[in-house]
Every structure is written in C-alpha cells, then in structure tokens.
Amino acid sequence: MASTDEELVARSRGGDLESFNQLVLRWERPIYALAYRVIGREEDARDVAQETFLRAFRALSGFKGQAKFSSWLYRITLNLCRDWIRRERRTPIAQAPEGLDLIEMAGEATPSESIEDLVARKELGRAVAKAMATLPEEQRTAIILKEYHGLTFQEIADLLDCPLSTVKTRLYQGLTVLRKQLDQAGVESSFGNR
C-alpha cells in the first residue's frame, strides 16, 4: 500500500531520503506541467520544477502541514514562475510545435481515437495555449490550477493567499476572455463547462 504524502513528509523530515525521492516521483509531472503552463518553455519549466523540489527539500523542516503538501509545492512553483517572469521581463510564451509528426501522433492515439481526432485535439491545445498566453498572470494561474490541476476554489484561494471571491472573479473573467478568443479563432472549447 502506498504511503500518503503526509507519511512520506514525516519520514523525510526524519532524514529518510528515499521517502523524499518518492514524493519527487509522485509530484514531478504535475509540478513540471504547472511550470510549463505558466512559463511556456520546456527547458525553463524543467529548471523551475527542479528548483521547486530543491527548495522544498531545504525547507521541509519548516513545513508544518497546515496545507496539503501538494498545495505547498504548487505555491513554491508559482513563486518561482513569477520570479522567472520578472527576471526575464517577458510574458510567458505559448510554444506550439511547428509541424505535426503523424507517426509520433499515431502512437499517442488511443484505439478509439482516429488520427484526425488526435490532430484536432493537438490543434485545440495549441489554440488554447496561444489564447492563455494573452491573459493576465492572475487569470491564467487561476485557470491552470482549476482546469488543469483540478483544485477547488478554496484550495486556489489558500494557495494564492487571496479571497475566495477574487479567485472566482479571476476564473470567470479569464474563461470569458478565453472562450471569446477561441470563438474568434473558430475553435470549440469546453473550458469551464465541467
């Protein structure tokens, strides 16, 4: 039976490096995905993800468990992303691959998904990334945490240290702009319709 984050954190705080490695393995993909969605650059997102775990390891003794371990990691990641954006003095970039490699995509398709469906899904992803890059950071972050990472409004409010109503407003305004941009681009989206 797999250990909970709390159990692994407790063992890590006691000096068990393997427990911390298990936390890294458990959370490296979501942390990288968050950094990539905020920054939009693979290499920089990898750097932010590595720095997130390095900082978490160094500060583990200060983690009191008042929030979930994942929320604590998300906060570290978002702070590092903000630092990166400030340092680079640029807006996040939505990278879209130039061409579509159909051989590679065929390996990604599920048995019930045709190549045409997969191409359409990839095109939607690029259109969403492009539209997301135009949103203010606060709205983009709220959408990423809600739509991509499945956090509740309250978890987002706690993570961003702002009122619940602010999170709802940011999400509503961001999704409204996002839907409008996707409509103008002729792309259908189900964002926020869950």
* Domain at 1-93: CATH code: 1.10.1740.10
Q: Going by C-beta distance under 8 Å and a sequence separation of 6 or more, which residues neighbour residue 148?
A: 33, 34, 37
Question: In angstroms, rounded to a whole number, what is the distance separating the alpha carbons of residues 67 and 110?
Answer: 37
Per-domain residue ranges of the chain: 1-93
To the nearest 5 percent, what fractions of the chain are helix, strand and coil?
70, 0, 30
Query: For the chain, what is the mean pLDDT?
Result: 80
**Residue 8: per-residue pLDDT:** 92
For residue range 60-72, list pLDDT tens digits in order.
Answer: 988 887 788 988 9
Q: Who wins on pLDDT, 140 or 194?
A: 140
Interval 120-133 mean pLDDT: 75
Is it the case that residue 76 has pLDDT exceeding 50? Answer: yes
The predicted pLDDT at position 85 comes to 82
At 95 the pLDDT is: 44
pTM: 0.64
